[in-house]
Structure 1
């Protein structure tokens, strides 16, 4: 993994909920890692990615899609990796966005809110 890859984990889908969202074509996945210490809620475009309870998904948080870890140099997310190999080539579904808030939860919980756009490589 390059230094650009900040977090990588395999999760099991424990819950899916389309009714909880106010947008069409959005599915909210509740994911739990194997050790049970990390839960993630992830909204995905249900037309681009369909997941069922019990399925496993690999999640990677990275600061760039460039294989060498270099910054995207002002390219828009739609331009990164077009015509050249990128991290996106290894995944069926990719979100691109920014962390906009950290919230402390009860105990040792931390909530990270990310505003993301999705695309399929």
Structure 2
């Protein structure tokens, strides 16, 4: 399935949930390079949630966004990369407070090229 607005391909069999009214969701991407290595970024020590921890790219879904729109935006904002492909849905589950309402999260795969725009470490 292709999402023409973003030039994004969603592989066959991937079913992206649709948030219900009043629900707050988060999204995250396990970003893979051409050799199958996953990208992780270190959260700042001053972050409210999970300070100074390694994490995948992601964040909250803004009002009016679909999960795919939010995923593409978060990848672009945090790395400068363009999300091109969603290979699979790895899971849906509750998000960590203080997110309000019913707050499942979506983790999905994508492919990247180049280096991220934000600062990152390989250690």
| TM-score with structure 2 setting the length | 0.24
> Structure 1 or 2: larger strand share?
1
Higher helix share: 2
Whose RCO is larger (CA < 8 A, sep 6+)? 2
Q: For the pair shown, which has the larger CA radius of gyration, 1 or 2?
A: 1
- State the TM-score, normalized to the length of structure 1: 0.24
